[in-house]
Amino acid sequence: DAKTTQPPSMDCAEGRAANLPCNHSTISGNEYVYWYRQIHSQGPQYIIHGLKNNETNEMASLIITEDRKSSTLILPHATLRDTAVYYCIVRGSTLGRLYFGRGTQLTVWP
């Protein structure tokens, strides 16, 4: 599975959009980009995933560049409850394995 690079931490004001970047320059054509988040001491929560097209659901939007070497998770109106560690994962393996990198600690402040 391709490795990912994320900034270790980011801040965002409540009500503003949070844009979390992820680099995955070695991604191959059949590998999906997944985003999860983990609020302190809870299990990881699925957010969104995509292959090449931009995706949107009730939680977030995922923008994948045309060359697929990077992506951005967008939380359109961040709230204090969005404070968490956000993991970008490139999933290429079968058997559904997810390998977590270090993630980005997002802190939303009032």
Partner 1 sequence: DTEVTQTPKHLVMGMTNKKSLKCEQHMGHRAMYWYKQKAKKPPELMFVYSYEKLSINESVPSRFSPECPNSSLLNLHLHALQPEDSALYLCASSQDPLTRNTEAFFGQGTRLTVV
Identify which of residues 29 and 110 has a Cβ nearer to partner 1 in the complex: 29
Identify which of residues 1 and 14 has a Cβ nearer to partner 1 in the complex: 1
CB of 42 to partner 1, least distance (A): 6
CB of 10 to partner 1, least distance (A): 17
**In the numeric block, which tokens belong to residue 67?**
């060359």
- Chain positions contacting partner 1, by CB under 8 A: 30-32, 34, 36, 41-46, 49, 51, 87, 91-103
**Angle at Cα 91 formed by Cα 67 and Cα 99, nearest 5°?**
125
CB of 16 to partner 1, least distance (A): 27
Cβ-count burial 61-76 (b if 16+ within 10 Å, e if not): bbbbeeebebbbbbbe
